[in-house]
Chains A and B, each alone.
Chain A
Amino acid sequence: MKQNKDHSEEGTAHISSFRDHWSTLATLLLLTIVTVVISVFGANLAALSVATALLIATVKVIVVAYYFMHLKYDKKIYTWLILLVVVLFAAFTILTALEYYNR
């Protein structure tokens, strides 16, 4: 089948290489190791560990979304919509927590 370039943008869809996928996985595994090590061997850093664990989880989520879920190469509308949902959820969560701690 010949590659007709006049088949609009579809034909130019970005194809991630297997190599890219392996690097993404390596990054995610590394972050997993870090978070487990901090939790298991650094348990006495109690105050730090909640924030740290959630921060590392968030970095992992961003890596998955950006590379595996292809946001890096997709139209920006997807990123904006996701940010909208995230901001909505964060506002809800943070306001709830603030209400609790300020009473």
Chain B
Amino acid sequence: MEHAHGLHLPNSGHNRDDEASKMGMWLFLFTELLLFGGLFIVYMVYRMLNREAFLLSSFELNVWLGTINTVVLLVSSMTIAMSITAIQKGNSAQSIRLLMTTVGLSLLFLVIKYFEWSSKIHHGLFPGMDYYNGLPKGEALFFFLYFMMTGLHALHIIIGGILIGVVAYRTKKGEVTSEKYALTENAGLYWHLVDLIWIYLFPLFYLIH
């Protein structure tokens, strides 16, 4: 406290508590987990009731596109974790590059998702389309849940991508530094959660044959 430059209380003018903001982010992530958790229970119940139909329908999805998207998200999880390492070491430029790489990978994910959805919509599988309306109940449910759950997940990807872009911008402005990087860490936590949800969506829709 007896510093040479006089009255510089640890918090003067810059009240912040990084630990508390991290806890806040985790509490928010719990609500996200339970949001998707509810949908996973719906999936489980309808799958138990329509075993054959879910099995048949899952063969309609493209395992390879799903796998590529899984890899894209895993790599993006690494790049954002690396951007935290970079900012902790005081290398803002590298941190920004890694953040922008993550944003780029989020866009790649969305482009691949766009092609997947387009091909399903082309086949008339989107809820409400003529072909969809003629499907047996179980298969319709599979595609309803597919669009609902991957759609909600894609929305999270969009929000996460924007958030990470904001972090990159604020790092460039010097508002995020090696002393003050809670924003980068919290964006990272959110992004990892989006990855975690995909880690379950992928086998449930594409792999379980």
Give B residues with C-beta under 8 Å from A.
18-19, 22-23, 26, 30, 33-34, 37, 40-41, 44-45, 48, 63, 67, 70-71, 74-75, 77-78, 81-82, 84-85, 88-89, 185, 188-189, 192, 195-196, 199-200, 202-204, 206-209
Residue on A nearest B209 in the bound complex, by CB: A43
**Contacting residues, chain B, for A15 (C-beta < 8 A):** 85, 88-89
Number of interface residues of A (CB under 8 A): 45
Distance A87 CA – B202 CA, assembled complex (angstroms): 22
Q: Is the CB of A65 within 8 A of B67?
A: no
Q: Is the CB of B199 within 8 A of A61?
A: yes
Residue on B nearest A75 in the bound complex, by CB: B19
Q: Is the CB of B203 within 8 A of A54?
A: yes
CB-CB under 8 A for A21 and B71, given A93-B41, A100-B48: no
Q: Is the CB of B81 within 8 A of A68?
A: yes
Q: Is the CB of B78 within 8 A of A35?
A: no
Residue on A nearest B200 in the bound complex, by CB: A57
Distance A48 CA – B192 CA, assembled complex (angstroms): 28
**Contacting residues, chain A, for B203 (C-beta < 8 A):** 35, 39, 53-54, 56-57
Distance A22 CA – B37 CA, assembled complex (angstroms): 30
